[in-house]
Chains A and B, each alone.
Chain A
């Protein structure tokens, strides 16, 4: 998914908030893409389309109370894994997609657990980021 890097400078709090959402999403996008394509075996085009929806959801999700945008990243991964799992299960269930052993294994796992594994990668990313 492409998110424009050409973000105008605005002093308003809301613009800052929106920009922070885009930044955090962009930082997590690599991991999301790996989860969708490598682990849940979505095709590139499918993954790209799903990422668009994830961004729309995440933007609204960040307006909910109780967590900062950055703290919401693990929930973004949970949503990503949940959506990918339901999508692939739907395709397998309708006979559109045949499931191999690797796909079956990941579809049998709870999305929260899969996302938890990915969250460790985020922690590593944060560690490197703070170290830079």
Chain B
């Protein structure tokens, strides 16, 4: 690597003398640090400008400044759970810009660090909006960049977490429960509270999916009490949702609804629309079990609308199938068919059910004949439930 390469930010615009030593360390723009407040203001200025209205000069002036870039990632982090589809688009733009050989940012390892961050944000967002194959590729890109940073361990651990979350998404729960304790320990040693608790939560979710409900409850209660490290409202609220869901599964529906009501203000305060959509789903499930069919259907409908509005297509498709079953049960077959017809394209496009293909074909045909097949619907739901 040449000195120009190392001195990555703006040496290229510095005129070099024709003789004598090529140095003088001319004052570089990027050497003038911004306060965090200034960086966040610049970040908001960049992000609030519609992507199609950002000129090359506008983009360059913002993204060449490492402080502004740090601010942009800070803002995107907050938006990750609110608008993953938007974060994905922004992260893609950032990754592309940072990967252009003529664009170098900051000092030493900062270009690699920021490129890794953009790929990690893209990967995490892609996972949330349901494009699972693409997520792997973004995570590979993130790892490739983080490996060149001075202290890669914390960043690589963050990538490892998304990889395990992806295994959870694809139903490989035993792999999650085997591998996550080590990652949980790593985050604890690094005092990364947010990731530490996310690991415990994911472990609880994997136990729950495997039917190991006692261990799942211990994990969620651990998180709600948060004795070791501080935990944020969003994650605590999500743990409460799942505790409520466990109670509901054990027949204690009133206790479940109490957990849900405890979760609601936490999730609203944390602005977590994905978790709020999950909450509506679980409220729907509990109301359905209590026989309050109309209220359950309303809750499911709200959850579907929420998932669609945040771009979580696969989750929306799954809840549409659940909703269709509830509608058939409530003798509203036409509405059930609409929901199935809306869900099937996503189920097929995202290959959500490779092992339940026959049931999907059967269901598709029954909807075409305007006579939704409850057996095929139940089978599709069963397969999806095992993967959701």
Contact = CB atoms under 8 A, between A and B. Distances in A.
Interface of A: 14, 45-46, 49-50, 52-54, 56-57, 59-61, 63-68, 72, 75, 78-79, 82-83, 86-87, 89-91, 93-94, 96-97
Given A75-B150, A75-B151, A97-B21, A59 B33 contact: yes
Contacts of B154: 64-67
A60 B70 contact: yes
Contact of A67 (B3, B30, B190): B190
Contact of A57 (B4, B22, B107, B157): B107
Among B21, B151, B191, residue most surrounded by chain A Cβ atoms (within 10 Å): B151
A57 B150 CA distance: 12
Nearest to A85: B6
A91 B67 contact: no
A96 B151 contact: no
B108 A56 contact: no
A96 B67 contact: no
Nearest to B66: A60
Nearest to A97: B21
A19 to B, nearest CB: 13
B226 interface: no
A57 B23 contact: no
B108 A57 contact: yes
Given A65-B155, A67-B154, A90-B3, 11 more contacts: A53-B28, A56-B107, A60-B70, A61-B150, A66-B155, A67-B190, A79-B107, A90-B2, A94-B22, A96-B20, A97-B21
A50 B150 CA distance: 18
A126 to B, nearest CB: 19
Among B31, B150, B192, residue most surrounded by chain A Cβ atoms (within 10 Å): B150
Contact of A64 (B25, B28, B113): B113
Interface of B: 1-7, 20-23, 25, 28, 30-31, 33, 36, 66-67, 70, 106-110, 113, 150-151, 153-155, 157-158, 190-192, 195
Given A64-B113, A66-B192, A91-B23, A53 B107 contact: yes
Given A46-B23, A57-B106, A60-B70, A89 B151 contact: no
Contacts of A72: 151
A79 to B, nearest CB: 5
Nearest to A82: B108
Contact of B190 (A63, A66, A96): A66
Contacts of A54: 107
Nearest to B4: A90
A75 B108 CA distance: 12
Contacts of A89: 3
B185 to A, nearest CB: 14
Given A14-B36, A66-B155, A79 B23 contact: no
Contact of B108 (A45, A63, A83): A83
A82 B150 CA distance: 10
Contacts of A96: 20-22
A94 B110 CA distance: 25
A21 B313 CA distance: 44
Among A45, A49, A54, A57, residue most surrounded by chain B Cβ atoms (within 10 Å): A57
B23 A68 contact: no
6 contacts: A45-B25, A56-B33, A57-B106, A60-B33, A90-B4, A97-B21
Contacts of B108: 57, 79, 82-83
A61 B112 CA distance: 13
Contacts of B66: 60
B160 to A, nearest CB: 13
B153 A66 contact: yes
Nearest to A94: B22
A56 B30 contact: yes
